[in-house]
Amino acid sequence: MREFIIKRTANAKNDILSGLTVALALVPEAVAFAFVAGVDPLVGLYAAFMIGLITSIFGGRPGMISGATGALAVVMVTLVAQGNAMGAEGENLGLYYLFATVILMGIIQMIVGLLKLGKFVRLIPHPVMMGFVNGLAIVIFLSQLGMFKEVVDGQKVWLQGLDLGLMIGLVFLTMAIMHFLPRINKKLPEALIAIIVVSGIVIFGGLDVATVGSFIRSGGGSGLEGGLPTFQIDIFNKVPFTWETLKFIGPYAVILAAIGLIESLMTLNLIDELTETRGHSNRECMAQGGANIVTGLFGGMGGCAMIGQSIINIKSGGRTRLSGIVAALSLLAFILFASGLIEQVPIPALVGVMFMVVIGTFAWSSFRIINRIPLSDAIVLVAVSALTVIFDLAIAVIAGIIISALVFAWENAKRIRARKHTLEDGTKVYEIWGPLFFGSIQQFNSKFDVNGDPDKVIIDFIESRVSDHSALEALFNLVEKYEAAGKEVKIRHLSEECQRLMVKASPKLEAVIEKDIEDPRYHVMANAMQ
């Protein structure tokens, strides 16, 4: 028991300090995403607390941080606006439609976890992963540029003169502390130390820079202070449980669930690589779904894994579930007891931390390898990066997978071969090499000379495999052509699975399949294909 406790608490100090750092960085992020979605800042903060806590306890990836994210917020803004338009002015009906959508989103994510569909994240090619990381780093960078603006006469304009210089100077000071501190003492949490030092300089130096409090008020919020999340009974009173409601929130819920799971599972893969450990994708799907159901019921805007905060956590030494739990509980403590102090934290310190996250997130190696990898992979990498910035993560990843799949299909379509020879009795044998599927059918058909072939023909599949329905149709049509020409055709060395598929598709094909084969190579190949 003692060894178990020691093992579990060996990294406790790093987990607690990294959790505090993450909590500080979560505040402006959650507030900003709430403004993007068009809801009160506390809705974003409550989501960050509840989702962060639940996924840290039950999720499939210790050390990964979840909360309100920009990828989801940009979808929610339209939902909230349309929901508000359905109700009376000032009724804020869009907020309750948002809660209902987040609950449905969570249900969908839990279904994905129950069906164990999270494993399909393994189908994401490495160039897509690199493109995702690069695109997300650019998105994080661009999101921080808004902090270099101020509100003048209701409009956001760029800082100028001394204000701009002071902002840049404090940002670079934060980055310098984070860069050089580990060289002096690796045990100190560089992000947290940098925030404390810069905050001290601003507060005691009386410097006029934007703070968390001024940032919240500039967006129309009243402040960070709030109470515990409460059960939103008004969801059931204001949102009618009808088919019309489901048609309205259903598409949004599906999109949000897809974006949330893709971002969460790809972040999980990234943290796996950074820590050289392996998370559990299906468990993470279940935890994300459960967290979104709870946050929807208790007044949160929903969320998913946050790559920026997750990397801050990992780089600060957070490795276990304790780091995420500390981050979530610290965020709640800020809301309940320390809102005045947190509102004094200068924005430049948090921007500096996020810029270091950008530097650590971007796959700089992609510049080095771009000329060494296949052109198709380079195109996928660049396309996913660009689409992540222009649209969102889900579109980028899906597009990248589609491009990669099409390239794979095209390359395999060119690999099908037919080696021909004639037996002593005059039978012509076509030995097929390469996969037969929808992409290789045209090449496959071009190998045969129905009119010029002898009366007996054997098509040998010992080095090939019938992969899909298009391939079955191609074989069926080829057999019909030979039979129409009055010639006998046999198909040899098909795997048992391929035989079943062919007979099921067309019972007529059973007569042309050779089943009793004594060739030892066939049994080796057939077993390998199972």
Task: Provide the pLDDT for residue 466.
Answer: 84
What's the CA gap between 72 and 84, in Å, rounded?
Answer: 18
pLDDT score, position 300: 93
pLDDT 10s digits, 74-104:
788 889 989 988 887 777 899 999 999 999 9
Q: Is residue 58 predicted with pLDDT exceeding 80?
A: yes
Average of pLDDT values for 344-355? 88
- pLDDT at residue 222, as a whole number: 66
Instruction: Quickly state the pLDDT bin for 471 (edges 50, 70, 90).
Output: confident
329-346 per-position pLDDT tens digit: 999 998 898 888 888 989
Mean pLDDT for 137-149 is 84
Q: Over 80: is that where the pLDDT of 5 sits?
A: no
In this prediction, residue 518 has a pLDDT band, given cuts at 50, 70 and 90, of low
State whether CATH 3.30.750.24 applies to domain 414-529. Answer: yes
pLDDT band at 6 (very low <50, low <70, confident <90, very high): low
119 vs 278: CA distance, rounded Å: 12
The CA-to-CA distance between both ends of the chain, in Å, stands at 45
Region for residue 299 given its phi and psi (left: phi exceeds 0; alpha: psi -120 to 50; beta: otherwise):
left
Predicted confidence (pLDDT) at residue 69 exceeds the cutoff of 80: yes
CA distance 29 to 349: 13
User: Alpha-carbon distance 293 to 300, whole Å?
Assistant: 10
Q: What is the 3-state secondary structure (H, E, C) of 75-144?
A: HHHHHHHHHHHHCCCCCCHHHHHHHHHHHHHHHHHHHHHHCCHHHHHHHCCHHHHHHHHHHHHHHHHHHH
Q: Is the pLDDT of residue 195 over 50?
A: yes
User: Tens of pLDDT along 30-53?
Assistant: 877 787 787 888 898 999 999 999
Among 121-130, 235-244, 285-294, 418-427, which stretch is predicted with the lowest mean pLDDT? 121-130
Q: What is the 3-state secondary structure (H, E, C) of 483-523?
A: HHCCCEEEEECCCHHHHHHHHHHCHHHHHHECCCCCCHHHH
Secondary structure class of 235 (helix, strand, coil)? helix
Closest to 239 (Cα-Cα) out of 53, 58, 79, 402:
79
Instruction: Burial-class residue 254 by CB neighbours within 10 Å (0-12, 13-18, 19+).
Output: middle
Q: How many other C-beta atoms can be found within 10 angstroms of the C-beta atom of residue 127?
A: 25
The mean pLDDT value of the chain amounts to 86
Tell me the average pLDDT across 351-368.
Answer: 85
What average pLDDT does the segment 110-135 reach?
85
Q: pLDDT class for 529, splitting at 50, 70, 90?
A: very low
What gap in Å lies between CA 259 and CA 282, rounded to an integer? 16
Confidence class for position 410, pLDDT limits 50, 70, 90: confident
pLDDT classification of 7: cutoffs 50, 70, 90: low
pLDDT of residue 8: 56
Residues of the chain with pLDDT > 90: what percent?
38
Nearest alpha-carbon partner for 289 in 412, 105, 530:
105
**What was the pLDDT predicted at 469?**
84
What average pLDDT score do residues 354-379 get? 86
Mean pLDDT of 416-437: 90
Confidence class for position 106, pLDDT limits 50, 70, 90: very high
When comparing pLDDT for 528 and 56, which is higher?
56
What is the per-residue pLDDT for 26? 85
The token duo for 480 is 């019909």
pLDDT confidence of 24, banded at 50, 70, 90? Answer: confident
Residue-level pLDDT at 98: 95
Lowest mean pLDDT among 127-131, 249-253, 509-513: 509-513
Task: Say which residue, 497 or 184, is predicted with more confidence.
Answer: 184
Q: What pLDDT was estimated at residue 481? A: 93
pTM of the model: 0.74
Domains of the chain, residue spans: 2-154+221-344+366-391, 414-529
Specify the pLDDT at position 1.
46
Q: What is the pLDDT of residues 249-270, one digit of tens each?
A: 999 999 899 889 988 998 898 8
Alpha-carbon distance 493 to 478, whole Å? 17
